[in-house]
Amino acid sequence: MKNILSILVLKDYIKVLDQNLLPFKVKYVTLKSLSDVILAIKNMTVRGAPLIGIVAAFGLAFAWRQVETAPVNRGRFPLKQAAKQLKASRPTAVNLAWAVDRLVQASKEKCNLWEEAKAIMEEEKAACDRMGRKGAKLIKKGSRILTICNTGSLATYGDGTALGVIREAYRQGKIKVVYASETRPRLQGARLTVWELKQSGIPHFLITDNMAAHLMQRGEIDCVIAGADRIAANGDSANKIGTYSLAVLAKYHNIPFYIVAPASTIDKRIKSGKDIPIEERSSDEVLMIKGQLITLKGTKVKNPAFDVTPRNLITAIITD
């Protein structure tokens, strides 16, 4: 079960898999500058909390290297500005701010920021392995697992968070089937998770987001496993829109609900979920599918990209 890599690091640039084209086209795009990175994060060429943290780190490393190779700019390095722009590119996943802050600190210690970005990448990979091993212990043999969004190799640099646990549990022969929730409006479940599950040979069903309650009522789901974009100090966890409703449903049906996330997703500065910033994305994501309007032009739309699951609905948070 070899996973396709979400990011390739070359000598002085990176290539990322264009996730907007999946599952129909596998194409890497080259990122060579801070502005390339900001655009790729904003338009979701790359997505998933740990991966945007890694890519943001390379974004800052690009800005830093530009100065290293252009001595004329030395001493006037707008690192602060680059950090600010990167942090504003997507607000909810704290991994991004965490990685940027770490590189800013490394620059103060005169470290090589390119190497620091690579170190973050390797650490996140090892974190996936640890989460997979720990999480798999909680999975019972023959489990039918529901997951949302995409939390696998495409969202990380490794096996994934929630999908990493599923992969490891599958290797241990514990998984009967995975239900992938399609994850409207951007369809990360349908486009990305199904693609990964297929590549890993894990049996799966794709369901629309409104089918979960019915399946739980019929006793067809044994547990729910999701990732997180930011976990507050009290354990409240922000993740893809729709995660909260799955947690409520799981509680009602007495089904374990697990969150899987690395330490870089925990934001100890934020006391509870109500302080987590929730990204609002373009109304076009709801109004259209593949560029085709699905409702009346001009319809007003709400499009929060994430929601917060209160800690009392979470059976366990699996970290590295």
Could you give the residue numbers annotated as active site? 229
Q: 113 or 148, CB closer to ligand MRU?
A: 148
Nearer to ligand MRU by Cβ, of 143 and 156: the residue is 156
Give dist(CA 94, CA 205) in Å, integer.
31
DSSP H or E run through 136: helix 113-136
CB 318 within 8 A of CB 131: yes
Report the residue number, 143 or 150, with the smaller CB distance to ligand MRU: 150
Q: Which residues of 247-285 are buried (b: 16+ CB within 10 A; e: fewer)?
A: bebbeebebbbbbbbbebbbbeebeebeebebeebeeeb
CB of 227 to ligand MRU, least distance (A): 3
Q: How many CB atoms within 10 Å of residue 303?
A: 16
**What is the CB neighbour count within 10 angstroms for residue 314?**
22
Q: Which is nearer to ligand MRU, 113 or 246 (CB)?
A: 246
Closest residue to ligand MRU using C-beta atoms: 227
Closest CA to 278 of 149, 93, 101: 93
Nearer to ligand MRU, 93 or 103 (CB): 93
Q: How far is the CB of 27 from ligand MRU (least distance, A)?
A: 18
E strands present in 203-248: 204-207, 223-226, 230-232, 237-240
- For residues 216 and 241, which CB has a smaller minimum distance to ligand MRU in the complex? 241
Query: In the bound complex, what is the minimum distance in angstroms from residue 125's beta carbon to ligand MRU?
Result: 12
CA-based nearest residue to 2, from 201, 235, 248 = 201
Q: With respect to ligand MRU, which residue has the nearer C-beta, 64 or 123?
A: 123
Measure the CA angle with vertex 279, ends 193 and 166; round to 5°: 25
The C-alpha angle with vertex 16 and arms to 12 and 21, in degrees rounded to 5, equals: 150
Smallest distance, ligand MRU to C-beta of residue 209, A: 13
Query: At its nearest, how many Å lie between ligand MRU and the CB of residue 238?
Result: 8
Nearest distance from C-beta of residue 83 to ligand MRU, angstroms: 20
Q: Is the peptide bond before 23 cis (omega within 30 degrees of 0)?
A: yes
The least distance separating ligand MRU from the CB of residue 75, rounded to whole angstroms, comes to 36
The alpha-helical segments, DSSP class H, found in 193-296 are 194-200, 212-217, 243-252, 284-287
Q: Which residues bind ligand MRU (CB under 6 A)?
A: 47-50, 93, 149, 151, 155-156, 161, 188, 227-229, 239-240, 305
Which uninterrupted H or E stretch holds 97?
helix 94-108
Tokens 């089904």 appear where?
A: 255
Q: How far apart are CA 152 and CA 166, in angstroms?
A: 9
